[in-house]
Structure formats: structure tokens, C-alpha cells
Structure 1
Amino acid sequence: MNRVAVIILNWNGITFLKQFLPSVIANTPAAIADIIVADNGSNDESVQHIKATHPSVQIIQFDRNYGFTGGYNKAISSINHEYTVLLNSDVEVPQGWLEPLVAEMDKNKEVGACMPKIIAQQNKDSFEYAGASGGFLDKFGYPFCRGRILSSLENDNGQYDNPTPVFWASGACLMVRTRLYRELGGLDSDFFAHMEEIDFCWRLQHEGYKVMAYPQSKVYHVGGGTLPNNNPRKMYLNFRNSLLMLTKNLPKRLLFRTLFIRMILDGAAGIVFLLQGKWSFFVSVLKAHRDFYKMADKFIEKRKSISKHSTLGLYKKSIILSYVVKGKKTFSRLNKADFIEK
């Protein structure tokens, strides 16, 4: 058994497997990493294709779709590698992508999880939406990145190539210490998909571990491979899960005021969707709030397992106001003093 498990979660993704799995096999050193495809109950020809064309790839098959969270939890429960890389099926990896991550994790025992720089696969001059060069969170639970604020993507000109602590590492390519993953209960299966890696990284920080971006490693991500960015289902999950994540992780002194303002902001977004004639998106916001209320008690209970609610690295202001009102449309224009340091 090698030290690293690179696990690709697949659900009816034969197109992506054909396109990107060869790069993972070719550019992942066999001496240190095992490549595993965890199949989430696909009904296409994914498993048959892997068996026929890539016999070196290990396969874990599930009886149904357990989502991003449940699928990875089930897969990681069956391995004993020191490190696990959660790698999306729509990610292309170049030569030398894995070795820097392993070296940094070996050297820095206080780091619980890390990520490479994530570049858009279809435009390799640009950062990719879901992670860029490291993720952050504003005071109301809106995520943004070094290289991406709201929908504005920056070109990668090396401006964020310094290794740095971040608030969250992208689930598109997330390296974790397997022991810590299990001790913390893995990804929260109640999320199903979306925001779950931010919640996990936040829980790591509650326990005193760092989350790092190591841009000396990079990968290329298609993005929206399972659900496109303009999908009402994706919007529903993001709105619902953001509220649940705040409920579980914010310190009590900040919780109720933050939730109140965030729900007002969500409502305003819903009204905008309605005025734009985007009925399905408006309904997604309503359903997200309805289901948040249904699930809130469960997440209040989950708070009790967290001894210290850390806000280290949280952006103390609203990223929306910073972007829209103050015109700060790139990460480099944000004031470092506006990130919580203690």
C-alpha cells in the first residue's frame, strides 16, 4: 500500500473519466500513490470502461448515489493511507502536481488539509471558480478566493503563487490527513453536496489545524461538471448549506445576528430572481430556507461537539459590499487587516 490515496468520486461520469483519468494515471507517481475510483451507483458504462482500459486503477462500487459527502466518507472509511486526495473527475493534472503537496504536508505537521492552485481547464490563463488559489469566507458566509471574487475571475499571472494559510481548500482537489478526516467525521453527509469542504476546513481550524494553499502545485478544473453553475438545484444546495454551516460553526455571540442578516440578503436575492423572471431560482431560495428550518435543530445539536468555535481567517466585512460599493474586484485589493488573525 502506498502513502497516498487519490480518490476520484464518479457518478455517470464516463465522459470525464475518458478525458481526464489518463492524465491522473500518467502524472501521478505510482511509487507513492494509489488511484481509486469510487463509483456512486452509476448506471452508465463507467466501471466497465475503467476495468477494460485502466486495470491499475482500483474501484470501489456503491449500490446508489450517496452524494459528494457520503460517497467520499464511504470510500475513505475503507482505506488506510496516510494522506487522501479528493479529486474531482473533471480535473486534469500535469506532471509534478502531487509531489509538492506531499512534501509540504510531510514538513508541516500543523497543516490538516491543503490544495493546489486551480486553473480553468478550458482557459489555462485564468483561475477556476471553485477554489482558484485558496478560499476564504466573509462574515455572512459568502465564499470567495484568491483569484475569484463573486463571478469575477482573474487571469493567473503568478500574483498568488505564495503558499499561504486559507480559510478553505477546494473539494475539486483537496488533500487531507486521513486520520484527521476520520476523527472529525469526514464531510458532513447532511450537506449531500456543496459547501461541505468549507465546513470541513472550518472544523479543522476549530481543532487548531491550518488549511493551506500550495500554488507550486497546480491542476486544471472544468468546473460545474456534475451540476452547472446556473443550475437551480446547485443554488438550492448552496443557499441551504451555507445557512447550516453558519449555524454549526459560528461562535454563539455572532450566530443569530449573522443568520438574520444573511437570510435578509438571501431574500433580496430571491426578489431579484423573481424580477428577472427566473422563477426556478426564486423557488430554490424559498426551498433552501424551508429546509434550513427543518434541519436547524439537528445542526444546533452538532454545535455541541465543537469545543471552540474559531473565526481565524474569516473576512470581517461583507465581500458583496466590498465588491459592489467599494469596487474591490480582486483579492489583492482587499485589506489584510480585515481578516481575523486571532
Structure 2
Amino acid sequence: MEVSFILVNYNTNALLLKAIGAIYQFTDAALSFEVLVVDNASKESPAALLVQQFPQVIFIQSPANKGFGAANNLAIQKAKGNYFFFLNPDAFLLSDAASFFVNKMKDPAYSYMAFCSGELLNQAQLPNHCFGNFPTFFSAISACGLKVFYQNYFRKHLALGVANYDPLPKKVDYVSGAAFMVRAELVKLYGGFDEAFFLYFEETEWAYRLQQKGYYSMIFPEVKIIHIEGGSTEAGTNTVFNQRTFQLYAESRQLFYKKTRGAFFAAIMKPLDMLQDLLRSIYHKEGNLFFTKLAILWKA
């Protein structure tokens, strides 16, 4: 088995079926692959729909929602592929991405490439966040206002989420968790998702962990994938403030700091993150919403 597609569903049955349909539509039948779906204790399980429309899919029902990483790890335990292709239910293939990525993984020139992804597009097929840079003290300081003096450099080399406008393949710190491939052998050697992260920063920590072992991540813009950002979260949108989502993000960010750089780094980054949100709240005229965010950030 070459590729194991892995999708985690949480109350997104319609999107899930569309994502699976795109997999079977675009993936070359000559490529041996399987599709595994983990349902993260949704209100309505997609089991019956999958049996009806995609009976070949391997379905795993999680009795409780223990987070995105934990659900993916359930599928990893059953996956048989040499490569794992993680795909959000709100991410839709536009071509045979799996075969393309497998060929790159097998190329000796990319023998230390752990993760690869393509160029993510939004619903209007404009560039969407597809990779990011590991957070640093300099990136946090820059985000507090200094970036106005070097906006292009900040966007490419410091921002946590970056949309791609470059046609050439390139190494990046980490690829978006919405759609990426990883070598199964590296999962066996160094583990999969860290289940301490419920949601957010789990792919960032994984990429950082493997980078410490000498591996790297890449994006190949030739591959285009639609990603309806926010479609697979409970809120279903990133345009309205959702307190639970913001809390999960803040907690995961602090956890990433602690796990990768230690408690001292996490402590000095917290006030910078607070300042960023203050400036953002002022810019967007959010009013008292900042104090709600401040309380969440302080507790994270």
C-alpha cells in the first residue's frame, strides 16, 4: 500500500463526503491507496453515509472528542500506507496530489523531506495560508508593530501563517495541517501527532520535532488544493469571534512555546502575544472584546 489518506470528521458530514469524492475523482487508480475516516464524536455520525456512498472507506468511530491529533493517531494505528496523506474535510483535491507527492518522496534529492504539501487556495481560488514560520522572539516583536518597516520580509520569513505567491518549490518551517503528506517510517521512528495539543499547533510541533532530527518540510506550488479555512472547526467560520476557538489557539501556542523552547521562552512571549491582540483589537475597533481575549491569554 502506497498511500493512506486520513481524514478527521467533526460535524462536517457534507464537506467530508465532498473531500472523499475528490480523492477518488483525482487519484490515479494505478496508485494503491486507502481512505481512513475518524469521526471525532460528531452529533451525527457519518457512518451510514459512508457505507452508502463510499463503502470501501475504513471508518473509525472515536467514542469521545480527544482532539485533532489524537483522532489522527487512531487512524495511524490502522493505516497501511508507506505515506500518510492527512486531509481536512474542508480541503478538496484538484489534481492527483498523492501521486505527485509520492514521486517527490521517492526522489533521492528529497530523501530528508519529512513533510510536503501544495499551494492551498480559498473558495475563490486565491492563495490561502499553506505554510508558516516557527514563532520566535523576533517574530513576536515584529508583529507588535515593527513589521511595518519590513512587511515583505515579515510575511515570507516571520509570519506564522503564509499564503504562497511563489511558483517555485521551497523549504518551509512547517506546512499547513489542512493537507500534507508524511513518511510512515518517520512516524514509526519519532511518533505522530503530540496528543497534548487538542487543536492548533500540532502540525507545527511535529515539524519542529522532526527538524531537530535533520528533516525538513516543503511546498510544491504545482499542486493546488482548495481549503475552506475554518470549515472543519466547530465554529465553521473565522469571521466571527469564537471564545472557545480563541482559547484553544492561545493554549496550544503557549504549549508549543514550552515544549520547543522551554518555560522561560513561553513566559516572555505571553506579554508580546497580549500586546499583539491589543493592537489588533484597536485596529479592528473590537472594544471590550480585547478584555475577554486578555483574560484568556493570561490563563493560557
| Matched residue, 1:123 | 124
Secondary structure in 2 aligned to 1:70?
A: helix
Answer yes or no: is the 8 Å Cα contact 1:127–1:147 preserved in 2.
no
Structure 2 unaligned spans of 5+: 144-153
The farther-off stretch of 36-45 and 218-227 is 36-45
The structure 1 residue matched to 2:256, chosen from 230, 233, 245, is: 245
Residue pairs, 1:135-154, within 5 angstroms: 135-140=132-137
Partner AA of 1:259 in structure 2: A
Answer yes or no: is the 8 Å Cα contact 1:116–1:219 preserved in 2.
yes
Distance 2:242 2:157 in 1: 23
For residue 38 of structure 1, report the CA deviation from its aligned partner: 1.4
| Matched residue, 1:276 | 286
Secondary structure in 2 aligned to 1:77?
A: helix
Secondary structure in 2 aligned to 1:98?
A: helix
Partner AA of 1:247 in structure 2: K
Distance 2:71 2:156 in 1: 28
1:216 counterpart = 2:222: yes
Distance 1:20 1:165 in 2: 27
The higher-RCO structure (CA 8 Å, 6+ apart) is 2
| Matched residue, 2:22 | 23
1:194 counterpart = 2:191: no
| Matched residue, 2:148 | none
Distance 1:150 1:32 in 2: 35
| Matched residue, 2:212 | 206
Q: 1:135 to 1:266 in 2, by over 3 A?
A: closer
| Matched residue, 1:297 | none
Q: 1:287 to 1:98 in 2, by over 3 A?
A: same
Residue pairs, 1:315-326, within 5 angstroms: none
Answer yes or no: is the 8 Å Cα contact 2:6–2:87 preserved in 1.
yes
For residue 75 of structure 1, report the CA deviation from its aligned partner: 1.2
CA RMSD of aligned residues (A): 2.7
Distance 1:139 1:21 in 2: 37
Structure 1 unaligned spans of 5+: 292-342
| Matched residue, 1:9 | 8
Distance 1:53 1:77 in 2: 24
> Normalized against structure 1, the TM-score is what?
0.73
| Matched residue, 2:82 | 82
Structure 1, residues 182-204: CA drift from partner, whole Å, max 9, x if none?
43231111110101101110001
| Matched residue, 1:262 | 269
Answer yes or no: is the 8 Å Cα contact 2:133–2:157 preserved in 1.
no
Q: 1:3 to 1:19 in 2, by over 3 A?
A: closer
For residue 45 of structure 1, report the CA deviation from its aligned partner: 4.5
For residue 42 of structure 1, report the CA deviation from its aligned partner: 2.1
For residue 147 of structure 1, report the CA deviation from its aligned partner: 11
1:169 counterpart = 2:192: no
Number of residue pairs matched by the alignment? 276
Structure 1, residues 259-304: CA drift from partner, whole Å, max 9, x if none?
344211222245454973343x64344234324xxxxxxxxxxxxx
Answer yes or no: is the 8 Å Cα contact 2:39–2:45 preserved in 1.
no
Secondary structure in 2 aligned to 1:112?
A: strand
1:236 counterpart = 2:237: no
Partner AA of 2:52 in structure 1: A
Answer yes or no: is the 8 Å Cα contact 1:233–1:284 preserved in 2.
no
Distance 1:236 1:45 in 2: 26
For residue 19 of structure 1, report the CA deviation from its aligned partner: 3.1
Distance 1:172 1:239 in 2: 19
Answer yes or no: is the 8 Å Cα contact 1:69–1:192 preserved in 2.
yes
For residue 146 of structure 1, report the CA deviation from its aligned partner: 5.1
Percent identical among aligned pairs is: 27
> Normalized against structure 2, the TM-score is what?
0.82
| Matched residue, 2:73 | 73
Structure 1, residues 163-197: CA drift from partner, whole Å, max 9, x if none?
11100011000211122124323111111010110
Secondary structure in 1 aligned to 2:16?
A: helix
